Amino acid sequence: MSEREMTGNLFLLAKATNSKAKLSEKRRKEVEIIERICAGDDHAFSQFYSHFAPLVHGILLARLPRDEVADIVQEVFMSAFANLHNLRDTTAGGSWLAMIARNRAAEFYRNGKPTEELAENLQSRPVPTSEALEVLTVIRSLPDAYRETLVLRLVEGMTGPEISEQTGLTADSVRVNLHRGMKLLRQKLGIEE
């Protein structure tokens, strides 16, 4: 291997190590919170909730009816609290919660609520519409990968690196999903680029 190739490899290694150092501070905080919860610190769970609530809310909002999201967010965190001691990799708190949220969303549809037949003389009220609800409806019609990353970015305000770090997706996957998802969203909304 030439000296030039070795220098290039060292540069890439240093760059990768440097970017890991930036993310690892946040991860260290997450690990500390998880360890405190497992040690019985109830206050730590409120920090855990505050830190990960936007992630869970965004994932569920991308998949469920809006009026069901808040309740299921609570169910996800109750499940996490009950099972946090089973988490083998404390650095994977975000991706573990994301998996629980996705499973709860699937469960919601699998265990569909029983329906009741409505009376024929029932008058319907006009449903308020807004631009945001229209956009959310269009986002929900997109493929899963685009839907989730778009809601986390546009609704929850998470950055690409935050989405990557908390969901366990690679930064490149998030970037591609956001780019392709925004392109499809613009097409479906009739917005010219």
pLDDT, mean over the chain? 82
Confidence of residue 177 (pLDDT cuts 50, 70, 90): very high
Confidence of residue 14 (pLDDT cuts 50, 70, 90): very low
Q: State the Cα–Cα distance between residues 10 and 144, nearest whole angstrom.
A: 38
Please give the C-alpha separations between residue 16 and each of 11, 13, 22, 34, 134, in angstroms, as whole numbers: 9, 5, 10, 26, 40
Between the CA of residue 77 and those of 103, 150, 151, 165, what are the distances in Å? 13, 22, 19, 19
pLDDT of residue 16: 41
Q: State the Cα–Cα distance between residues 92 and 27, nearest whole angstrom.
A: 9
The answer to whether residues 150 and 139 touch, using CB atoms and an 8 Å cutoff, is yes
Confidence of residue 63 (pLDDT cuts 50, 70, 90): very high
Contacts of 26 (CB under 8 A, 6+ apart): 165
pLDDT band at 21 (very low <50, low <70, confident <90, very high): low
Is the sign of the CA dihedral 61, 66, 70, 74 positive or negative? negative
Residue 1 token pair: 């291997």
The answer to whether 170 touches 164, Cβ cutoff 8 Å, is yes
Tell me the mean pLDDT in the region 10-19.
44
pLDDT digits (tens, 9 = 90+) for 75-109: 999 999 999 988 888 888 999 999 999 999 999 98
| Residues 40 and 85 sit within 8 Å (Cβ to Cβ) | no
**Contact, 56 vs 77, CB < 8 A?**
yes
